[in-house]
Amino acid sequence: MAEVPDAHIPLPDGELAGWITESDEPAPTALSPIDDSMPAKVAVRRLKGGEVLLWTGDYHNGRQLLKAIKKRLTPRARRNPASLTDQWRAERAKTSRQAQVLGRLVVALESDGALNLRRAPDTRQAVHWAWDLKEQKHLVPLRTLIGSLGSAGWRREGVEVQGLHGRIYPWYGVFSPTRQVYISLLEHIGEVADLSILDVGCGTGVLSFVLLQRGAAAATGTDIEERAVRCAQFNGEALGLDARFQAVQADLFLPEQRFDRIVFNAPWMLGTPATRLDRAIFDEGGQTLRRWLTGLPAHLNPQGVGLLLLSDLPERLGLRGEEEVEAAIEQAGLHIQHMHTKPARHGKAKDIKDPLHQARAAEQIRLYTLSPR
């Protein structure tokens, strides 16, 4: 939930403010106003102590303070590297601790979404796009607001996608199609002319649109997030594909509906999502993947197939067994018709300073073509 209902936080001027959170953090009960005179080391101590600091100084100085705090929260690299599994868990724990502390540096938005700080950018459109708030002031973590401003730029400009005629416009809180190796793997699925498509966890809808432009008769996207559904519908209209595309808020499948092709770009990492956006990446205990595999046969037309896109990074980190995915596929009563792989191509795979570089550099994306046995 982005906006916590019934949150009434007293501001220094006596007004009451709502609370915006992307990680279900509880609304603060008290605020400590700070400004440009606050040293980073003092801010870190107070934030780690649980205080919620309300930034009232210059906007750009606030951003610099946020960077300085994050730097102070980053531990030095270990001299004796642990296993990749332990390193991954340590990185996740560090990221979680950082997010909790950094989330306590907040700013106050006016009722129209404006940020009344010196040298602040115009935040109104970005705030409206991200949260569509009620007419009252709101508190938001500064790092969350910065994220919404970056997302608004993507929404204005759009993203070019290889293999798609036109641009995709990612919305705030919807995973952007920057890892395009997933899309390039679709070249292995054969003809889709006149077929019906279900795009599970559709996000921006990019996989649906690629397949529709290749001749699919119709595509339906499902997503558990309402804003992803609205984003996909917007993109379908922008691409002129809305007559053959619909997006529906649903958890995986649509009751009693069957399709010729069901594609799932599954959350690939094992772990607990910390934010709403994390649901596109983290699958706690692999439960979402197992539910999709189990439910797949009941939603396929005769001769229909499922198309599973999945990274092997968890196996390389020791978080998932080498044959665990294949075993889950077999347990669900499915047969692997084909399996294609391509190396991951993203910035982290090339970052030799990343403690997990060894695993990321070797990461492969797999496309499983599945049919009921």
Q: 175 and 147 in one domain? A: no
Q: Which of 128, 153, 178 is the last residue of a domain?
A: 153
H-state helical runs in 74-159: 84-102, 124-131, 142-157
pLDDT of amino acid 46: 97
Q: 213 and 82 in one domain? A: no
Mean pLDDT on 12-41:
92
Q: Tell me the average pLDDT of the chain.
A: 92
Least trusted range by pLDDT, from 69-78, 85-94, 96-105, 191-200: 69-78
Distance between CA 139 and CA 53 in Å, rounded? 11
Q: How confident is the model at residue 360 (pLDDT cuts 50, 70, 90)?
A: confident
Q: 308 and 176 in one domain? A: yes
Q: 193 and 79 in one domain? A: no
**Per the structure, how many domains does the chain have?**
2
Mean pLDDT on 304-312:
96
Distance between CA 293 and CA 280 in Å, rounded? 17
pLDDT tens digits, one per residue of 35-59: 999 999 999 999 999 999 999 999 9
Q: 350 and 243 in one domain? A: yes
Residue 81 has pLDDT above 80, yes or no: no
Q: How confident is the model at residue 357 (pLDDT cuts 50, 70, 90)?
A: confident
Residue 177 has pLDDT above 90, yes or no: no
Q: Which of 131, 153, 175 is the last residue of a domain?
A: 153
pLDDT of amino acid 362: 87
pLDDT of amino acid 55: 98
Q: 357 and 211 in one domain? A: yes
Q: 175 and 44 in one domain? A: no
The structure's pTM equals: 0.90
Q: Which of 96, 124, 153 is the last residue of a domain?
A: 153
With a pLDDT cut of 70, the percent of the chain lying above it is 95
Question: Given the structure tokens 């649901």, which residue do they identify?
Answer: 279
- Residues with Cβ within 8 Å of residue 71, at least 6 apart in sequence: none
Q: 112 and 240 in one domain? A: no
Mean pLDDT on 128-142:
91
Q: 133 and 271 in one domain? A: no
pLDDT of amino acid 6: 60
* Cβ pair 189, 369 in contact under 8 A: yes
Residue 128 has pLDDT above 60, yes or no: yes
Residue 2 has pLDDT above 80, yes or no: no
E strands, the chain, are 3-10, 16-20, 32-34, 53-55, 105-109, 137-141, 159-160, 167-168, 196-200, 218-223, 245-249, 259-265, 269-270, 282-283, 300-311, 334-343, 364-372
Q: 192 and 84 in one domain? A: no
pLDDT tens digits, one per residue of 259-284: 999 999 999 888 888 887 888 888 98
Residue 5 has pLDDT above 70, yes or no: no
Q: 207 and 63 in one domain? A: no
Mean pLDDT on 304-330:
94
pLDDT of amino acid 3: 57
Mean pLDDT on 196-218:
97
Specify the pairing of strand 218-223 against strand 282-283: unpaired
Which domain CATH number covers 339? 3.40.50.150
Q: How confident is the model at residue 112 (pLDDT cuts 50, 70, 90)?
A: very high
Residue 179 has pLDDT above 90, yes or no: no
pLDDT tens digits, one per residue of 58-76: 999 999 999 999 999 976 6
How many residues are listed for the chain in this entry?
373
User: Structural domain of residue 75, as residue ranges?
Assistant: 3-153
pLDDT of amino acid 337: 97
Q: 145 and 16 in one domain? A: yes
**41: amino acid identity, one letter:** K
